Amino acid sequence: GLESDTDWTGPVSVADLAPQCCEAHGVEPSPDRPCMLLRGVLSRAECARLLEALDGHHAPGAEGCVPGARSQFVTDSPELSALLWARIQHAVPRALDGGAVVGLQSRIAVAKCFPGQVGFAHMDFRHADPDDGAVASRISFTLYLNDDYEGGHLDFVRSANLDGTHGGAFLSIRPEPGWAAVFYQGVPEFMHYPCEVRRAPQAHPTGGSHAPLSIPRASASRDASRPETALITG
């Protein structure tokens, strides 16, 4: 497991994105509505190990390029969830919306975008825990595993249209392996747009060409929120 790696040195660094996002939308920042970029959640070696373990479960290539199309599956990994939470919990509020934060969800969505695929402008919504009615997500946590592709920026946008386009980006982030985007769900100031992946110039160690691969969403609290976890790769 990743816990056996010794190349992760930590600590995770935090860049607060909420002030810029809130200013663009004309709202006041709130301490219980975080939006941040975390650097160094995983080492590059740890990301490579996850890629090798996960990439074979994805589709061999793009199955359409309509906005939002990508290869994605869900895996249950309490061990990975616990490791990630141990590294990032210092950056997450201890309470949200009147409930105590209880950690990352163990069910992890693993997404992969192929060249030509693009997301759509949206804000993330909350999801209830099917096994515990007192727990629901409040924060999205998206971890990026690779960067050997072009495009694939994460843009924060001023508005979202029904066709998936948006009213202009005010902040654009090019994630690196081991970085994570974390933001409060269900508010327009953190609307975002996963940009098109234009090409993947290198081959993945398992032999398939790829674009961003990520692990998306995870954070939750009892009677309030558990972060959702996602991994993103390409």
From the list 175, 215, 228, the residue with the least C-alpha distance to 197 is 175
Host domain of residue 191: 2-233
Write the DSSP string, 1-54: -GGG------PPEEEE-HHHHHHHHT----TTS-EEEEE-SS-HHHHHHHHHHH
Q: What is the pTM of this model?
A: 0.85
For residues 63-86, give the mean pLDDT: 87
Going by their DSSP bridges, the two strands 192-194 and 154-157 should be labelled as antiparallel
pLDDT at 41: 96
Q: Do 110 and 180 touch, CB atoms closer than 8 A?
A: no
CATH number for the domain spanning 221: value is 2.60.120.620
pLDDT at 216: 47
How many domains would you assign to the chain? 1
Query: How many CA within 13 A on the CB side of residue 211?
Result: 25
Q: For 1-59, how does the pLDDT look when each residue is reduced to its tens digit (9 = 90+)?
A: 566 556 898 899 999 999 999 999 999 999 989 999 999 999 999 999 998 888 878 87
From the list 28, 226, 208, 4, the residue with the least C-alpha distance to 108 is 226
pLDDT at 234: 44
